[in-house]
Structure 1
């Protein structure tokens, strides 16, 4: 495995006239044109160039896009999956994950700065950025107060490639401890399809029935997939 200090040593050095000039042109395009000025692989290429300054990072960037499908797939790939890519060391992986963390914080801030229900599209953008490309199912519960402000974004656990357990008792227990007035359930489908399964619907209805006597409402159950998202409320399933 190529470690941080070895990335530059083992890398193919960019020529002084070619590599440096190319990066300068990328930088200028970004400065002049903003986020849309560079293609996806060029954004990854320039980011990696900051972490591996003596290497031509274009082939590696194209390799990453090819392997993980999209720039979102690259940034959300887990550390071990990135570590398995020939040419990536700890420093370059950290650079990719730092960009992911910054993007998610920006999206979460936009989605939760006011009542969550009033920023629904911003919430969906945040959840899709965080969960659409995960390779295992992840369950989370958004706990809201009486003004629909986010109290806690609770990660309930991860499952296998196609199943994650969500326990009604644990959801209700946490809601009572936090004093939640309402909940939004969220999980992802690694298959890509956001369509709810019969089990998804059954579990959601169990949680609704358990929460109702306590005065806790369930606004929705959102399912995230690479192909989009679904809302059980919008589908009239709850």
Structure 2
């Protein structure tokens, strides 16, 4: 049979294609995927966009994901900011749909659960670095301010972790009486206050300082100790106790 003639039909009745170079059948990015996986397996420190590629490999199996990963990092700033970004903003990037967003949000939730596991069932004051890591994982990259309270028992073990309010990009209303009332409901004897600064700068404002002192003043007569007020942001964290502001 000459090369210019079609091959006989196969069993399904369709004409089989003429043989082609196998190398041309493999998308160019397949080799890149294997090399990147190998680097990860060897313990290489990957930049954020390559680490994001590893996640997107499974979510988007038949497309070169490097441009997508780079576009996401360019828009949101870091790996952490990508996975914590609002779903509607993520889907404005070409190639990102609901299923990819779902995978990213599962990863976000997994990170928070891992961080929470490091502080659960142990005295928090003895695991302060884990507390900071947990607070950053939970809030540092949120697009709006959130005010969170860690309620502790007399052994400084975590009773509950609750978001008491969500606000705008630079303000969350906090009511000291409500904070104390909730502590009494949970039989908490100590609190750690936490909130985020979406601007990225964790430096406490005068309003932050006043609000903290108001809560301390409301809690102290009832035997409830405020151990600290932690402010987290993309650029780090600040402790009002460490700054001797409470």
| TM-score, with structure 2 as normaliser | 0.86
**1:20 pairs with 12, 20, 30, which one?**
30
In structure 2, what is the equivalent of residue 161 of structure 1?
Answer: 169
3-state SS in 1 of match to 2:122: coil
RMSD: 1.5
Question: 1:46, 1:57 within 8 Å by CA — same for their partners in 2?
Answer: no
Flag as ranges the 4+ runs of structure 1 deviating above 3 A: none
Measured in 1, the distance between the counterparts of 2:75 and 2:67 equals 12
Question: 2:68, 2:93 within 8 Å by CA — same for their partners in 1?
Answer: no
Q: Name the structure where helix makes up a greater proportion of residues.
A: 1
Measured in 2, the distance between the counterparts of 1:82 and 1:17 equals 26
Can you give the 5+ residue segments of structure 1 that lack an aligned partner in the other structure? Answer: 1-13
Q: Does 1:108 align with 2:116?
A: yes
Residue 17 of structure 1, CA deviation: 4.7
**1:127 pairs with 127, 132, 135, which one?**
135
Question: 1:188, 1:223 within 8 Å by CA — same for their partners in 2?
Answer: yes
Larger relative CO (CA 8 A, sep 6+): 1 or 2? 1
Q: Does 1:74 align with 2:82?
A: yes
Q: Name the stretch that deviates more: 85-94 or 146-155.
A: 85-94
Residue 15 of structure 1, CA deviation: 6.2
In structure 2, what is the equivalent of residue 9 of structure 1?
Answer: none
3-state SS in 2 of match to 1:111: coil
Q: Does 1:203 align with 2:211?
A: yes
Measured in 1, the distance between the counterparts of 2:99 and 2:27 equals 25
Question: 1:76, 1:130 within 8 Å by CA — same for their partners in 2?
Answer: no
**Which entry has the higher C-alpha Rg, 1 or 2?**
2
Residue 95 of structure 1, CA deviation: 1.3
Relative to structure 1, the CA distance from residue 204 to residue 37 in structure 2 (aligned partners, 3 Å threshold; closer, same or farther) is closer
Relative to structure 1, the CA distance from residue 37 to residue 197 in structure 2 (aligned partners, 3 Å threshold; closer, same or farther) is closer
